[in-house]
């Protein structure tokens, strides 16, 4: 049985992200990320055949002037596609959370952990966390799952 997330669990500065994590919160494909590894825009370390990245390496990549416009376009497309789809077959919602004065690292780790370890299906997630600015989270998918994840975030962050 999986343990619940706790903000005290992420105080570890040695947290590493994988290509899957970066793809998840940037919306960029695995192939695109590998191309950026090849051309040196994305820096990381291969451990046992799997690429790993520190929070600082991920932040540097996301802030890169060549990368940031692509990420913003992907984020905007999630919302735009939701608005255009008038023939949904199930209840869906799209929520944008703007979280000012927040710890970008803790928010990133919370959502990555929960989405990877929770029972979430067909959930789209994007994160925009520029330095010295508000963190923006976009969640789109099944209404119950999106609301469950948002509520869990606020319950967890309030209890920290």
**Per-residue tens of pLDDT for the chain, all 160 residues:** 334 444 344 445 567 889 988 988 788 999 999 999 999 999 999 999 999 998 889 888 988 999 989 988 988 999 999 999 999 999 999 999 999 888 877 888 888 888 878 888 888 888 887 767 788 999 999 999 999 999 999 998 765 5
In a domain, 15, yes or no: yes
CA dihedral 29, 125, 5, 116 (to 10 degrees): -40
| Element (DSSP H or E) covering residue 76 | helix 68-84
In a domain, 2, yes or no: no
- How much is the pLDDT for 13? 56
Query: Which tokens sit at 123?
Result: 């959930």
Domain of residue 59 covers 7-158
In a domain, 29, yes or no: yes
In a domain, 152, yes or no: yes
In a domain, 1, yes or no: no
Domain count, the chain: 1
φ, ψ (nearest 5 deg) of residue 16: -120, 150
Cα atoms found within 13 Å of the Cα of residue 43, Cβ hemisphere only:
8
In a domain, 126, yes or no: yes
Give me the CATH number covering residue 67.
1.10.1660.10
In a domain, 78, yes or no: yes
Query: Which tokens sit at 61?
Result: 């990549």
φ, ψ (nearest 5 deg) of residue 47: -120, 120
In a domain, 95, yes or no: yes
- How much is the pLDDT for 26? 86
């Amino acid at each position: 049985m999986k343990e619940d997330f706790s903000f005290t669990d992420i105080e570890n500065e040695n947290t590493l992200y994988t290509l899957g994590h970066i793809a998840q919160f940037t919306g960029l494909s695995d192939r695109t990320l590998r191309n950026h590894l090849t051309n040196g825009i994305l820096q990381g370390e291969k451990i046992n055949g799997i690429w790993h990245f520190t929070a600082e390496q991920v932040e540097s990549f996301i802030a890169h002037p060549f990368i940031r416009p692509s990420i913003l376009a992907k984020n905007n497309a999630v919302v735009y596609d939701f608005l255009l789809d008038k023939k949904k077959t199930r209840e869906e919602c799209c929520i944008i959370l703007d979280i000012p004065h927040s710890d970008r690292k803790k928010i990133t780790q919370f959502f990555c952990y929960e989405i990877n370890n929770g029972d979430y299906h067909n959930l789209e997630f994007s994160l925009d966390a520029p330095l010295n600015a508000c963190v923006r989270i976009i969640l789109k998918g099944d209404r119950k799952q999106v609301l469950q994840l948002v509520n869990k975030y606020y319950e967890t962050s309030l209890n920290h």
